[in-house]
Structure 1
Amino acid sequence: MDDGGLNYCRDIVRRQDPDRYVLALLAPVGRRPALLSIYAFNVEISRIRESVSEPMLGQMRLQWWRDTIDALFAGQSRAHPLAAPLAAAIMRHDLSQAHFMRLIDARSADLDPVLPAAMDGLIDYAGETAAPLIWLGLEICGVSGRAAHDAGWSLGVAWALSGLIRAMPFHLRRGWCCLPSDLLAKYQLDRSKLRQEVSRNNIIKLVKEISETIDTNIEKSHELRSDIDRAAIPALRVAGFAQAYQRRLARFGYDPFDPRLSAQPPFIAWRLMLRGLVGRY
C-alpha cells in the first residue's frame, strides 16, 4: 500500500471519525491499514448528505462509489486516494462486496428519506448503516460464523442509535429528523418544532426509550461472547465505546442537547485495551 493512500485514510478517520480511529489504533498492527481504509470509506459515503445541495447530486456521488467498488473488485484502479488502500484491503482479506454495497444503499436512503413510522424502522436503518462495516472488520480479523455476524448486527444497531442521539442537535439544525412517528406521537412531540421545545421533558423521555434499545442490543452481543473467537475483539470493541457513551448519556440526564455529550469519553482507549486483555469487547 502506498504511504499517501494510507496517510489519507489515517487523516480523514482521525478528523471525521475519531472514535473509530481509536478502534483502529487498538487493533493489531497488521490489521490497522485495512481497518483504516474501510473506516475512511464509511466517512466518505456518510458525509455525502451534508456536502450536497440536492439529493440528485448525492445519488450521483453514491453511484460513483458503487462503480468504484465494482472496479476495485474487478482489479481495476480508480482516481481517488482511498482506492489503493481499499483495493489492498479487499485483496488481502477477501472482503465481501455485498457489505460495501449495503453501506452505500443505506446512505442512499439518507438523501431522500422516508421517515420511519415505527421504532423497528429506525432499528433497521441503524443496523444497515453500521453493521456491514463491523462485518467487514470481522473479515479483516479473520473471523466468521453466525454468532459473530449476529453480534455485529446488534452492535451496529447500538452504535448507530447512540450516534444519532449525539448528532440530534446537528441534524435538527440542518432540518433532518429520523425519529420514528410512533415515538413522537407517544411523547406528544412535533417533528418540525423539536428545536423550539420549551420543555425538554418529553424529548428526554423519548431519548431514554431509545437508550433502552441501545442497552438491549449491547446485551445481546455480550450473550454471544462465549461463541466468538477472541480475534474478533478489534472489530467488536465498538461495544465498549457504546457503553461508555451510554453512561455519559445517563449522567447528563438523557438530554441530547447537553454539549458535554459529544465529547469522547475520557481514557476510553485505555479502558478498551484493558477489556481486550481479559477477552471482553
Structure 2
Amino acid sequence: MAASVLGSTCGPLRLGVTGLCRRRPPRGLWARARRLPGLAGSGRSVAAASGSGASGTDRYCMELLRKRDYEGYLCSLLLPADSRSSAFALRAFNVELAQVKDSVSEKTIGLMRMEFWRKTVDDIYSDNPPQQPVAIELWKVCTPAEAGPVPGPLTDFQSPSKDGKSQALPSLGLRRKSGWEAAVKRHNLTKRWLMKIIDEREKNLDDKPYRNIQELENYAENTQSSLLYLTLEILGVKDLHADHAASHIGKAQGIVTCLRATPYHGSRRRVFLPMEICMLHGVSQEDFLRQNQAKNVRDVIYDIASQAHLHLKHARSFHKSVPVKAFPAFLQTVALEDYLKKIQQVDFDIFHPSLQQKNTLLPLSLYVQSWRKRY
C-alpha cells in the first residue's frame, strides 16, 4: 500500500504537537484555548477576538478571513497583539487576490482586477493611496492612533453591521489610512513580495495544469512563501534561516492547497495536478474527474503529498537556528501536518469525505503549538 511506503521513504508523518503526552500544558490552558473562535459558541462575535475596541472595518476583515481562510484566521489570532491587525490586512489582501480566479467569468475581467491591485500597491508606495476607500476589507482596516489621518476627500463606504447588512459610515473630510497602508508604513513591508503575489496570481488565471512539481513549487514560492516573508517583516524578523524555513513551509502550503482543492476543481471539470507525475503513473485528467480510486491514482497523490512532507521536514531540520520570534509566522504547519496525516490514513484517497471535514480541535492544537514555541 502507498501508505506503508511513505514511512520508509520520507519518514513518518508526525502530526500536530509532538510529545504532547510527555509534557502537560499548564493549568487552565484548555479553558483559555476554548476562548479562541472555532471552539467557542457560534454566537460569539468575531470582534471579541481582537478586543472590545475593534472597529467595523476590523470586523469585516476578520469575518472575511474566518469564512475564506479559516486556518489563516486562527493563526493570525495567535500573533503578538501589535502585529495582529497588520497580519489580518495582509491575509485579507491575499484572499482577495485568490478569489479573483473563481469570481470572474472571463480572463479579461480577472486581468483588470489584478491591474487594479497592482496600481493600488504602486500608489501606496508613492505616498498617493486611492482618494476613496474601496469596498474591500483591505482598505477598511482602521489606522492605529499614532499613524494619523491622511488628507483627502472621503467618500462614504460600507461597513458590515450586526445583521449582516452593510451600513454607510459618515464622511469626515479626512481619509484615514487603511490597516494595510498603515502596515506598509509601520513595518516597512517589501514591495517586491506584494508584487510577486499579484504577478503569480495573474499568471494562474489560465486554467492550465502544472507541468511538473517544480512548476507548482514555483507558484507556491511566489505566493505562499512571499506571504510568509511579509509576515516575518511584520514580526520584525530579519533572519536568513527564518527566510529559508518560510520558503519550504510556503511550498508545502501550496502543494497541500492544490491537493485539498482537487475535489472542488474536479466538480468544475478542472484538474491542476502536475501532469508529469500523472503521466508517470498512467493517470489521465478524466480519472480525477470521475473520482477514480484506483491504485495508480492514489500513487499520484502519494508522490505529491510526499513532496509537501519533505518540505515540512526540511523546514524543521534547522529550527534551532530560527529565531523564536519567527515561530508564530509558521503556525500553519499544524494544519498542514494534520491534512498530510489524514490523507495517509485514508491511503491517499483524495476524494475521501473525511478530508473535507473541518478539524474542530485545530484551534486547540494551534494554541498548544504556540505555547510550546515550536513550528
User: Is the shorter-chain TM-score for this pair beyond 0.5, marking a shared fold?
Assistant: yes
Which structure's relative contact order is higher, taking Cα pairs within 8 Å and 6+ residues apart?
2
> Does the alignment pair 1:110 with 2:204?
yes
Residues 155-174 of structure 1 aligned to structure 2 (within 5 Å): 155-174=249-268
Q: Is the CA contact 1:95–1:140 (under 8 Å) kept in the aligned structure 2? A: yes
How far apart, CA to CA, are the structure 1 residues paired with 2:345 and 2:291? 22
Aligned partner letter, 1:36: F
User: How many Å apart are 1:153 and its aligned residue?
Assistant: 0.8
- Pairs aligned (count): 281
SS at match of 1:256: coil
Residue 82 of structure 1 is aligned with which of 138, 151, 157?
138
How far apart, CA to CA, are the structure 2 residues paired with 1:88 and 1:44? 18
Q: Could you say if the C-alpha distance between residues 2 and 70 of structure 1 is closer, same or farther in structure 2, counting changes exceeding 3 Å? A: farther
The percentage of counterpart residues that share the same residue type is 26
Residues 114-153 of structure 1 aligned to structure 2 (within 5 Å): 114-153=208-247
> Does the alignment pair 1:264 with 2:320?
no
Aligned equivalent of 2:73: 21
User: How many Å apart are 1:8 and its aligned residue?
Assistant: 2.0
Residues 1-281 of structure 1 aligned to structure 2 (within 5 Å): 3-78=55-130, 79-80=133-134, 81-83=137-139, 84-281=178-375
SS at match of 2:302: helix
How far apart, CA to CA, are the structure 2 residues paired with 1:26 and 1:36? 11
SS at match of 2:121: helix
How far apart, CA to CA, are the structure 2 residues paired with 1:119 and 1:219? 17
Gaps of 5+ in 2: 1-52, 140-177
Gaps of 5+ in 1: none
User: How many Å apart are 1:193 and its aligned residue?
Assistant: 4.4
How far apart, CA to CA, are the structure 1 residues paired with 2:125 and 2:56? 21
**TM-align CA RMSD:** 1.7
How far apart, CA to CA, are the structure 1 residues paired with 2:99 and 2:121? 18
Q: Is the CA contact 1:2–1:85 (under 8 Å) kept in the aligned structure 2? A: no
Aligned equivalent of 2:19: none
Deviates more, 1:268-277 or 1:16-25: 268-277
Aligned partner letter, 2:187: H
How far apart, CA to CA, are the structure 1 residues paired with 2:292 and 2:267? 16
How far apart, CA to CA, are the structure 2 residues paired with 1:242 and 1:184? 23
Q: Is the CA contact 1:169–1:256 (under 8 Å) kept in the aligned structure 2? A: yes
How far apart, CA to CA, are the structure 1 residues paired with 2:212 and 2:80? 40
User: How many Å apart are 1:197 and its aligned residue?
Assistant: 4.9
Deviations 1:192-212 (A, max 9, x none): 442125443222111111111
TM-score (norm 2): 0.71
Q: Is the CA contact 1:130–1:157 (under 8 Å) kept in the aligned structure 2? A: yes
How far apart, CA to CA, are the structure 1 residues paired with 2:138 and 2:100? 16
Q: Is the CA contact 1:89–1:95 (under 8 Å) kept in the aligned structure 2? A: yes
Higher fraction of helix: 1
